[in-house]
Amino acid sequence: MKLKQFKHELRGNYHSDKWAEVMSAWFECAAHLRWRNRVDIPAEWEYRQGAALDPRDKESYYFNLFRKSSDRQLLVIGNFLYRLQRVLDKAGLSY
């Protein structure tokens, strides 16, 4: 999935809680990269996998979108989400 397509999907899911939606997408993105284990997850994301052998959430809205995405596309999307969560945090929308 290209970043432009992803942004459209993300905006379509912004209901009342942008922070939760961004974090949900970001965690799922990182989980897909971790599951594939072919590229390093950027350290600044501070992603730590939980105890589950498969960190992906098959019930997540983003699961199928990311399952079909390349590693490169996931890194681009993940970096976008990283920057977006920082903007939301500075705007006081985090919790």
Residue 81 lies in a domain: yes
Residue 27 lies in a domain: yes
- The number of beta carbons lying within 10 Å of the beta carbon of residue 65 is 20
Q: How many domains does the chain have?
A: 1
Highest mean predicted confidence (pLDDT) among 9-23, 42-56, 70-84: 70-84
Residue 52 lies in a domain: no
Least confident span in 46-50, 60-64, 88-92:
46-50
Q: What per-residue confidence (pLDDT) applies to 62?
A: 96
Per-residue pLDDT at 66 exceeds 90 = yes
Per-residue pLDDT at 54 exceeds 90 = no
Residue 36 lies in a domain: yes
Q: Which domain holds residue 8?
A: 3-46+57-90
Confidence grade of residue 48 (pLDDT, cut at 50, 70, 90): confident
CA 78 to chain centre: 5
